[in-house]
Amino acid sequence: MLQIVWANTPIKGTKVTFFLEKICSFARNAVFLFSQKLLVMSKRLAIIEKDSWLEPVEGELNYRHKLYTDKLADIEASSGSIVDFANGYR
């Protein structure tokens, strides 16, 4: 969550706020994608190698794959495995 403050007063619910949030989100993603682009040169997702139409969105796919692998690692660290996590409702 991004809080925008102007002259010590929070700005909420304006078009300026929406615009600034989009800019910050874009900048954050651009920095992440730039750092991930260095990894892409050495290792590409198999789906991108098989489907060249996905190359324009390769950075976004790598970002989402990283989110997935990080979340899976968190689940495995806390529950032991994805199966144990899924059976946790019992």
pLDDT truncated to tens, each residue of the chain (90 aa)? 455 555 556 656 666 666 667 776 666 666 555 555 554 445 899 999 999 999 999 999 999 999 999 999 999 999 999 899 889 887
Q: What share of the chain is helix, strand, coil (3-state, %, to 5)?
A: 75, 5, 20
Q: How far is CA 19 from CA 4, 8, 11, 14, 73, in A?
A: 11, 19, 12, 9, 34
Q: What is the pLDDT of residue 76?
A: 92
Q: How many residues does the chain have?
A: 90
pTM of the model: 0.50
Q: What is the pLDDT of residue 69?
A: 95
